[in-house]
Amino acid sequence: MKKPIIFILTLLILGIGNWLISTLFNLNFVDVSIPFGVVCAGLAHSFTGGTSPYTRQSDMETRGETGIRMPFKNKAARTSFVFFGSLTYFVFALVMTLVFYREYFIG
């Protein structure tokens, strides 16, 4: 039950953030959504999933201080629902942009 709530909250927070940015800078919501979605998905992946540089730095510091080699954990399988929510937001923004500007793309 916790995972769907996190997923939905991520979508809501990204939508509100996109709306705030588009309102503050007087831009169209659709025009801001793709770059905002890419940035948020990248940040979510670097902080919550994969082998982030922050985790690797912590492992190296522990190895340097104690001499104990930390076992490598494949964290790609533990990618969070925040990342999946951000990725879903990006795909939705891409589809929404294509629908909004369909006359431009079609001809």
pLDDT of residue 54: 63
Is 75 a residue whose pLDDT tops 60?
A: no
Average pLDDT over the chain, rounded to an integer: 84
The alpha carbon of residue 53 and the mean position of all alpha carbons in its chain are separated, in whole angstroms, by 16
pLDDT tens per residue, range 5-32: 999 999 999 999 999 999 999 999 999 9
Confidence grade of residue 70 (pLDDT, cut at 50, 70, 90): low
At residue 68, the pLDDT reads 73
d(CA 14, CA 20): 10
Asked if pLDDT for residue 74 goes beyond 70, the answer is: no
Q: Domain boundaries in the chain? A: 2-106
Residue 1 corresponds to which tokens in the numbers above? Answer: 């039950």
